[in-house]
Chains A and B, each alone.
Chain A
Amino acid sequence: MRLREAMVTEECFDARRLDDLLLPVLERHAREPGQLVQILREAQERIGYLPAPLLTAIARALKLPRAQVEGVAGFYSFFHLTPPGRYRVLFSDNITDRMLGSAEMLDRLCNRLWIERGKVSEDGLVSVDTTSCTGLCDQGPALLVNGRALTRMSAERIDRIAELIRAQLPLADWPPEYFRVDDNIRRRDSLLSVDWPAGEALQAAIARGAEAMLAEMKRSNLRGRGGAGFTTAIKWESARRAPCHGESGVRYVVCNADEGEPGTFKDRVLLSSYADLLFDGMTIAGFTIGAARGLLYLRGEYAWLLPALREKLERRRRDGLLGTALCGQPGLDFEIDIHLGAGAYVCGEETALLESLEGRRGIPRIRPPFPVSAGYRGQPTVVNNVETLCKAALIACRGGAWFAGLGTKQSTGSKLLSISGDVETPGIYEYPFGVSVEQVLRDCGAGNAQAVQVGGPSGICLAMHEFSRSIAFEDVPTAGAFMVFGAHRDMFEVARNFAHFFRHESCGFCTPCRVGTSLVADCMDKIARGLGTQYEINQVFKIHRLLHAASHCGLGQAACNPLFDTLQKFRPAYERRLCSLDFEPAFDLDQALAAARQMTGRDDPAAHFGLAARLPGVAS
């Protein structure tokens, strides 16, 4: 799509045009209120942002209160209530991107374009800001331009991008190598070594029958790969047994592809190169629990994967692997829809994801009821991670006993690790569960690691003396992120980056997480400015305990984990920044006078607080 044709600027925006632009979007989604997030997304794609009259029109068409539509639009980072730049540049702000120089490159791009970070240029051409991890840590620094992913930024590329933007060249005409995304698969094990044609696993499952397939799942002892490690067969069996609600009630299979945990990118690779295995896995889950509909919730940051995934679905339809009478079996129907997220990490939490799928703000639900009994639209729903569903396809072909023989007794099978940071060969490494951290570090060429953040910011930070521990649910569980920090890295800055991540991604539903994540981020900033004392450290501990106990969902409960871990294990990184005082106010009297100095054009010693008193002979 040509950029300038696709975007309508504020000046040429008018109500009639709005109806013309909105109508096809509404029609495509049958004016279904549950499709609100998708409708907002597509409307924004056509119009460039979500102006107030557009929200009113959508609310009217969907028969929803306008405030509800505005509330949903205001929740997601990728929705804009005011016009963003026609080129919207978002630098991935994960710590691994930062370690590769992303902050300097962001400044460089802003300088080249003569703009301030976070503000739209006066001509409306461009805006530059940061976004949460884009899942390209193995080939960063990465950024998104109008939703397209660009990798391996360098000073040279940044300068060139500034020129391309100034010349208003459509993205389609930018150098294609900027958009190259590699899989970087470095180690293959039971999953990544398969190369089956689409439908092979599905046919194996059909040959076994639903009951037998469930039995194989039980035998496999497969546990969820999204981090929590819940036994998949129990979910499937519960959903299969749970009664549907209402006359038209049906069961659902939801694939959680909202891979938002910073440092994780294994699902990106599975979606890019193993999509048929995933779709087989979803269909097998549907076949086993008696669901005819699957929903893939794809994170907004991965929107660039959408065309290829849709094409795969089309091919499956042509091959009789999607739609009705799959593999020639009358009565065996399965449809898969792809829903796009819009920039909200919390939607990786399964009930927040369901809320988002139903077109609402991504707020985690009160549990119980659990999704297996009342999930999508209140119906029995299995929510599984991408990797989990791929493993289910594997089990359909090879059997549960084979799978249970891999890994450890409590953690069967293999795990995909997304390795990034200070290593020679970042990328995807598949190991049987039980592999030691040491072994992984050796394989990826991490010569001088002082720490590894396993499982992302909500996971655990391991110091050198813990490298003999193993990756398994019973020891170090992980959703897949494995970020390595060399001896020269400042672990305080790592934790500070994570604190800001949680502040940005807190959904704001409950008090402790909403306010607590802000308070700890402020504490960390204060320490970074050299104004921290033991007092701030105590604050962080206190807030950590509160969030752990009182937060509504896992996001809040885990939000202070990285600070807690680094304070325990890398205390000198904090202490060398502390003042010796018991307390130092964050408020700086001299800084508070800066505005007055600017207005009066003064900068003499008497215009500074404290300085005048220290300089003899200067009148105060």
Chain B
Amino acid sequence: MTQASILLDGLPIPFVAGQTIMDAATAAGIFIPHLCHHPDFKPQGSCKLCTVKANGRHVSACFTPARDGMEVENNTPDLNDKRRTLLQMLFVEGNHFCPSCEKSGNCMLQALAYELEMLSPHFDQFYPDRPVDASHPEVLLDFNRCILCELCVRASRDVDGKSVFALSGRGIGKHLIVNAESGRLADTNFSWADKAAQVCPVGVILRKRVGFAVPIGKRRYDVEPIGMQVERMAARSAGEEGMDGD
């Protein structure tokens, strides 16, 4: 019996039962853009960057199980155009100023914008008012850059067992909150050793006083575009996502 496989942009990709399209692609070294997905956590499917076309239907690669013979379109102009628009939406929804952000070069949002050749935010900026939380001795929370991927929510709840983070609000008013009546991170049991401290794909959860230990230009996505780092992403685990990149 031959091994089950999907056809990803015309290329046969083997998979084992239980794998998603994303799992199969990643194992084969093929990059499917994503933000809210992380191999250590249950797929969530909210950023929609990994939208692919499977047997003619748009689906999220991160949670759609691979099926034998499934024909999947991934790297097509139409899908990349949609992904670019999604990135632009995320850029205008928050306050993202890469030149002044200490996560620049280690930020997945920025790296994907380069990867997908996003040349401008395109839409009018929303300029939301999102005060930062500098209360914690070790960590700064800059909500301006939050893309609502819920990785910190999932890490804190499912790995750390602390549920330090959660989402509140609805629709465009949705926002990240912390587990304290005061609303301040210092009043939670959060610590830099938490898994939740390591998973932010953008620049919300920042360790204080080490911002530029690795200079800009030598950071993870400065060295190599995100699309070339599939194997590294597959091997992601706690500790590796820290501020310093490599």
Contacts and interface: CB of A to CB of B under 8 A. Distances in A.
Interface string B133-164: 00000000000000110000000010000011
A511 B48 contact: yes
A71 to B, nearest CB: 4
Interface in A68-89: 68, 70-71, 73-77
Contacts of A542: 85
Contacts of A70: 166, 168, 177
A296 B31 CA distance: 45
Contact of A71 (B173, B177, B180): B177
Given A71-B177, A511-B89, A515-B89, A361 B48 contact: no
How big is the B interface, by class? Answer: 35 or more
A504 interface: yes
A53 B126 CA distance: 32
Contacts of A53: 181
Interface string A488-510: 00000000000000011111111
Contact of A508 (B60, B166, B173, B178): B173
Nearest to A68: B166
B10 interface: no
A308 interface: no
A37 interface: no
Interface string B77-92: 0000010011001101
B82 A511 contact: no
Contacts of A552: 45-46, 48, 60
A366 B172 contact: no
A67 B172 contact: no
B124 A522 contact: yes
Nearest to B82: A546
Given A67-B163, A511-B46, A522-B124, A550 B172 contact: no
Given A67-B177, A509-B46, A550-B58, A75 B51 contact: no
A514 interface: yes
B93 interface: yes
A503 B48 contact: no
Given A53-B181, A552-B48, A71 B167 contact: yes
A65 interface: yes
A586 B124 contact: yes
B24 interface: no
Nearest to B180: A66
Given A366-B45, A511-B90, A52 B169 contact: no
B166 A505 contact: no
Contact of B172 (A77, A506, A551): A506
A509 B44 CA distance: 10
A514 B177 contact: no
A67 B86 contact: no
Nearest to A508: B174
A619 B126 CA distance: 35
B19 interface: no
A286 interface: no
A75 B172 contact: no
Interface string A32-59: 0000000000000000000011011000
A519 B123 CA distance: 8
A507 B168 contact: no
A504 B148 CA distance: 18
Contacts of A551: 48
Nearest to B182: A52
A75 B169 contact: yes
A518 interface: yes
A77 B170 CA distance: 9
B174 A514 contact: yes
Contacts of B123: 519
Nearest to B58: A549
Nearest to B86: A511
B172 A503 contact: yes
Contacts of A344: 170
Contact of A65 (B93, B166, B172): B166
A226 interface: no
Between A68, A75, A506, A511, the greatest number of chain B beta carbons within 10 A of the residue's beta carbon is seen for: A511
Interface in B59-106: 60, 63, 82, 85-86, 89-90, 92-93
B179 A518 contact: no
A55 B180 CA distance: 10
A66 B163 CA distance: 9
B170 A550 contact: no
23 contacts: A53-B181, A65-B179, A66-B179, A66-B180, A67-B163, A67-B177, A67-B179, A67-B180, A68-B166, A70-B168, A75-B168, A503-B171, A510-B45, A510-B48, A511-B46, A511-B47, A511-B86, A514-B174, A515-B89, A515-B172, A543-B85, A551-B48, A552-B48
Closest CB pairs A-B (n = 3): A74-B168, A65-B163, A67-B166
Interface of A: 52-53, 55-56, 65-68, 70-71, 73-77, 344, 361, 366, 503-512, 514-519, 522, 542-543, 545-546, 549-552, 586-587
Given A70-B177, A508-B170, 5 more contacts: A52-B181, A508-B171, A509-B174, A511-B147, A518-B93
